A and B are shown apart, each in its own frame.
Chain A
Amino acid sequence: MITRFQRFLFGAMLLAAVVMAVVLIRMRERAHDRLIMAADSQPMNTLSTALSTAQVETITLLVANDMDGSLISVERKFPMPKDPNARARVLMQKLLEEYAAPKSTHPIANASGVDEVFLMPVPQQKGGQGEMAVVNLNAVFVQAQPSGIEPETLTLLSMIATLHANLPQITEVRFLVDGQQKDTLAGHADLTRVYLASDTQTAVRQ
């Protein structure tokens, strides 16, 4: 014998299940929309349009010098986009152009080695506003990177230091190659770890 109370309870639970299903489906749709919007605003797609409206700014590049293992601060003027992801990518682009130029102090014969830079909040950081930059290098650049502890370390440190100098909120940097984690850059410098902006301090020439 089913009591009236049991029937009411069943009805209430059924209603709750339906409402929860509807809410979940809506949330999933919204998350999907947000993901699409985020992908659309990535620097790859908006770099050209962002640059056309960008203002010329002074940027600081920390350029590696193979002869003494140091990073030297140089200033360049360039139209910079407003979006931090796009700014980070332009910074990397400008740094690699220095390395691809003749008589470079740290020659790497590939100026378009950074496909994307993603900025995201540093996970589990206590009270901090720090961001992690994920730098996605491409395999062609990695091929052009000279092999050795010094040349590889300097490439990474100069990228980290340049990002931090212009976007101080970047406190951590990770490197991927074609979107995948790789053990080393070209046989030496560890790419499995998260680098800290403070790692670059010993190399920067005062």
Chain B
Amino acid sequence: MLLSLCALLAVGAAAAQEAPPQSTLPDMGKLPAVPPATRAQVQPQYVVVLDAAHGGGDVGARFTDKLLEKDLTLGFSVRLRQALASHGIQVITTRDTDTAVSMVARGEAANHAMAAACITLHATATGSGVHLFTSSLAPTPYTKFLPWQTGQSAYATQSLRLSSEISTALGHTAVPVTLGRTSLQPMDSFACPAVAVEIAPLAGGNTTSATPLTDVGYQNRILDALTAALTQWKNDWRQQP
């Protein structure tokens, strides 16, 4: 009886190890474990992951018949990548074309990169300025293997610091910032300091009209601020525990 139980457990463990990485929707039982951040042994590389949200059939928010969130986030991701690359920052993107990328595939891309910062890009017609969201998962200490869907919980403190640096940089370019916590995939599974950057139109005063999302000057201010913040983060992130 005891023997057969042991045999069953061994088979179960072997099956769990052999489970291939999933590329479909998250399945708690079969997901690969997130590798621990063993930065101490290897020379740390400064890698930034840019995750242009939505894509393919997932259009995100519909601003007009022709203007979709998925296109806006992709365009922004491409431009931010160029800006960061020109500052010598290595960038990994989760998508470079208008394709549907699963949440698990995005998580895998981010977690294999062992990135110093993971930025998920969104856009919305609601509110004003830039909304910076960090995960609402309760902070947990590092463990050797983090559960896939809540891997972000071990990076809660670092994510808040990264969010704070982006907020400061946006403040310098006079873009209003709203800070919040949310439960968002794939961000909750990112095993890296992660912030969701959601771009909203810039609300005008009583006499001026709102600056639309598509305004190039407005977009450039946000791009400059993000580039400045991520350049600054390069000096700060290594001091993290």
CB within 8 Å of B: which residues of A? 66-69, 146-151, 153, 183, 187-190, 193, 195, 199, 202-203
Do residues B184 and A69 form an inter-chain contact, with CB atoms below 8 A? no
| Per-position 1/0 for B174-199, Cβ under 8 A of A | 00001111111100100000001010
Offer 23 A-B interface pairs, CB within 8 angstroms, sorted by A: A66-B127, A66-B128, A69-B179, A147-B124, A148-B61, A148-B124, A148-B125, A148-B127, A149-B124, A149-B182, A149-B198, A150-B126, A151-B127, A153-B180, A183-B25, A187-B60, A188-B122, A188-B182, A189-B183, A190-B184, A202-B180, A202-B181, A203-B181
Do residues B126 and A66 form an inter-chain contact, with CB atoms below 8 A? yes
Given A66-B126, A188-B122, A189-B183, verify A147-B178 contact (CB < 8 Å): no
Do residues B203 and A67 form an inter-chain contact, with CB atoms below 8 A? yes
Q: Which residues of A contact B124 (CB under 8 A)?
A: 146-151
In the complex, B131 has a CB within 8 A of chain A? yes
Nearest-Cβ distance from residue B194 to partner chain A, whole angstroms: 13
Do residues A149 and B54 form an inter-chain contact, with CB atoms below 8 A? no
Do residues B182 and A189 form an inter-chain contact, with CB atoms below 8 A? yes
In the complex, B58 has a CB within 8 A of chain A? yes
How many B residues face the partner with a CB closer than 8 A?
30
Bound complex: CA of A116 vs CA of B61, how far in Å?
27
Do residues A150 and B181 form an inter-chain contact, with CB atoms below 8 A? no
Work out how many contacts link A and B, with CB atoms closer than 8 A.
82
CB within 8 Å of A: which residues of B? 25, 54, 58, 60-62, 69, 122-128, 131, 133, 136, 178-185, 188, 196, 198, 200, 203
Name A's interface SS: loop
Q: Which residues of B contact A190 (CB under 8 A)?
A: 182-185, 188
Residue of B nearest to A186 (CB): B61
Given A187-B54, A187-B61, A199-B136, verify A149-B122 contact (CB < 8 Å): yes
Do residues B200 and A150 form an inter-chain contact, with CB atoms below 8 A? yes
Do residues A148 and B126 form an inter-chain contact, with CB atoms below 8 A? yes
Q: Which residues of A contact B128 (CB under 8 A)?
A: 66-67
Bound complex: CA of A150 vs CA of B200, how far in Å?
10
